[in-house]
Structure 1
């Protein structure tokens, strides 16, 4: 922190310090304001003794103590704000003022989870379990409930709620009102890209309507990664429980499979998403400790995967001969690279100096750029050879969006490793570019069916 702060204007130094403190989950925003006031008072006092801005700032920060100790002190004084609580209600005799809101939030979560499950159950009954219409509407049946949870929790203004409901409704009209050719490419593309658009809307609710906030967008990136971890854990636990229950019922001559297919899966799979989101909100630091481990394990493995794929692409013959399924799999790998990049940045100490892992991140992004470049060349060659189709244009557009994102990320990452670019610039680029993916997904959902005449 000292190395990065030294030489910067005092306001920039305080801003860096504030952002770092704000990411300590035990400290509420109002308390960050109080701590900043205290820090500024310390700086002013030290200036009067003859110290310059840099010296005054560094001494003031050291006088306030290590931030981890500050976090623990706030945790002790404000236990209701501590994220790392391992039970719903703390031990001891708590009054209704503390237990009431907790149980009320749990009740809201369970009601929304049940609502999502019943909506999916009704959707299956109306649309059919194997229909393309159900696939188109699957995210519409679940994600509005998650958006409603965050709109309630963040106290989203009425105007923001109206806008979100209107956009959800508009998307529902598009997905169900367009005369798609059954099984056509634009129908499949709309079904695959609609969840991206809806997830952006959930993000707007998550940040309480402050969609321009860089810190809010980064928090949503962090939440998304943590939600995947928690949902996977719930799915694994639920799978084990289901197997054990099936074996137990089989021993007494009862087949549990009809009940699983008709009720348990339709209710529990979507409901678990709402519960997982609540758990992330309630236990943030527990998962946040896992985040750096996951990124450090999978980053070098993904680099090896990308490097090993390049000879496969080179040995596939001409660019027009590259297998279509291979291009799809490579897109999935590039999206994984993007997720690793975002998650590692969200879990990183913004004031720590660049290290070996930052170098690995740059290597990962450069390898992804090379692979993406080869894929873009293959896609353009296939379009020139075989003509335009909705799938080809959608894949080309996604890879162009990814290529621009990764190219700038590599440039900023290299500058950070060389200590010529502050980490804040790297972080701001990642969150600032994210809406481009939602915009492209919206184009695919809304414009592609019209351009390609719903085929």
Structure 2
């Protein structure tokens, strides 16, 4: 950064101070102390003093309130664990479908969201009704392997995920920034939950081994009563920790996005070249078409994760070009998948599976077109990165509507 005098020399130049800080933050902090001592009346340096040392006085919440919130989260986590264990018991008896297990976790996280960010009564009634009606409807469906029933099982979690977004955003559900925060929450939640799950698996392995040393096999009991309970309870705890500004998830998420997006792009290019070389045909091979759609969804998820973790203040960088390439590749994959689905519909007739896959591919194709056009404008300096994020956040309700349509109408139509 040069010398200590650079700070005092640029006290009236906020842009230069910010640049100096970003270039060498550690040196800036060390040098700032001297500059602040020499210029205690500077309003600019006073702002920087608060900015650099805010964490020392950040704890503005009263201890009783924190304790109350921790107790509330603990109760929700325990209830989630007990509910999941009970639901698992009934799924073992084949009294209910296994998809019911999501009702042992999602409603409790939704309750925490509403508690964390209070919503008006109308929204609370809507959320309660959607969860209640979904649960009742799901268990009115016959327990069989009909394609339309399976499609309902697969799309219900997507619908409830959008409902969870409504709970997360609260009264700000119409704001793009609130929806973007929900998408970021999902990425950070996945990272944190995965770390906690790995720790849980290590503990499980140690426990199993310890009991095996004394000739006792507790694997079945442990899975039913500890692993299931812990997996559900940890989901609530992870949701709480992410909303509490957990440094682990928030700091590591952008790096994971930047590392994985080029790896996914390279892997996908090699995979497509291998598919062409081997001669796999999604038009005739049903299983390969399903796999192709799985690849498409994975690419879409990685792309959205990368977009949401991008700072709006960042300048164009290599990650943007990689994301653009990923979206272009996803469009090619989706175009091939759509052609294959239309071919199979015209050749073999209409089925619930084909209609559901056709619908979701059309939705993704439209979303990808919107995103890539936003990227083109961004690359041409005609729009900022917010336009790209809007192309993601404003489209979320469309996926929810489609998921609801498949879940609640396909079993009745087919």
Query: What TM-score comes out, normalization by structure 2 length?
Result: 0.84
Give the SS at the match of 1:419.
coil
CA distance in 2, matches of 1:68, 1:275: 35
- 1:168 correspondence with 2:131: yes
Contact 1:291 1:344 in 2 (8 A): no
Matched residue, 1:260: 222
Q: Counterpart in 1 of 2:56?
A: 76
1:387 to 345, 349, 356: 349
* Residue of structure 1 aligned with 2:89, choices 110, 125, 129: 125
Aligned match of 2:73:
109
Structure 2 residue 162 is matched with structure 1 residue 200: yes
* CA spacing shift, 1:66–1:203, aligned 2, 3 Å: farther
Aligned to 1:146: 109
Kept after mapping to 2: 8 A contact 1:221/1:346? yes
> Does the 8 Å CA contact 1:139/1:194 hold for their aligned counterparts?
no
The answer on whether the counterparts of 1:197 and 1:442 sit within 8 Å (CA) in structure 2 is: yes
Unaligned runs of 5+ in 1: 1-62, 81-96
Displacement of 1:226 in angstroms is 0.5
- Partner residue of 2:35? none
Stretch moving more, 295-304 or 69-78: 69-78
In the alignment, what sits opposite 1:159?
A: 122
Shift of 1:364: 0.9
Q: How does 1:10-89 map to 2 (within 5 A)?
A: 71-80=51-60
2:324–2:375 contact (8 Å) kept in structure 1: yes
Partners of 1:64 and 1:394 lie apart in 2 by 58
- The correspondence for 2:179, drawn from 198, 217, 231, is 217
The residue aligned with 1:136 is 99
Quote the Cα distance in structure 1 between the aligned partners of 2:391 and 2:71: 38
Counting matched residue pairs gives 371
Partners of 1:163 and 1:198 lie apart in 2 by 13
Quote how far apart the aligned CAs of 1:309 are: 3.1
Secondary structure, aligned partner of 1:383 = helix
- Matches of 2:46 and 2:157, distance apart in 1: 42
The corresponding residue for 1:371 is 333
Matched residues in 1 for 2:320 and 2:84: separation?
Answer: 43
Q: Aligned with 1:277: secondary structure?
A: helix
- For 1:317 and 1:252, locate their aligned partners in 2 and report how far apart those are by CA, in whole Å: 52
SS in 2 for 1:115: helix
> Do the aligned residues in 2 keep the contact of 1:354 with 1:419 (CA within 8 Å)?
no
**SS of equivalent to 1:388:** coil
> TM (normalized to structure 1)?
0.77
How far 1:79 moved relative to its partner?
3.1
> After the TM superposition, which segments of 4 or more aligned residues of structure 1 sit over 6 Å from their partners?
65-70
Kindly report which structure 2 residues correspond to 1:281-320, keeping only aligned pairs within 5 A, or say none. 281-314=243-276, 315-316=278-279, 319-320=282-283
1:244 and 2:206 matched? yes
SS at match of 1:253: coil
Could you tell me how far 1:262 is from its partner in structure 2? 2.6
CA positional deviation for 1:70: 6.2
CA contact (8 A) 1:376 1:396 kept: yes
Worse-matched range after superposition: 205-214 or 276-285: 276-285
Kept in 1, the 8 Å contact 2:283–2:289? The answer is no
Shift of 1:344: 1.9
Question: Contact 1:154–1:206 (CA<8 Å) still a contact in 2?
Answer: yes
Unpaired stretches in structure 2, ≥5 consecutive residues: 1-42
Distance in 2, Cα, partners of 1:277 & 1:397: 31
The 3 A distance-change label for structure 1 pair 268 and 341 is: same
Give the Cα–Cα distance (whole angstroms) in 2 for the partners of residues 405 and 414 of structure 1. Answer: 14
Judged with a 3 Å threshold, the aligned counterparts in structure 2 of structure 1 residues 142 and 166 are, in CA distance, closer, same or farther, namely same
Query: Which of 357, 361, 373 does residue 411 from structure 1 map onto?
Result: 373
Task: Please give the secondary structure, in 1, of the residue aligned with 2:105.
Answer: helix
Aligned residue number for residue 38 of structure 1? none
Q: Are positions 1:233 and 2:213 aligned together?
A: no
Distance change (3 Å), C-alpha of 1:402 and 1:71: farther
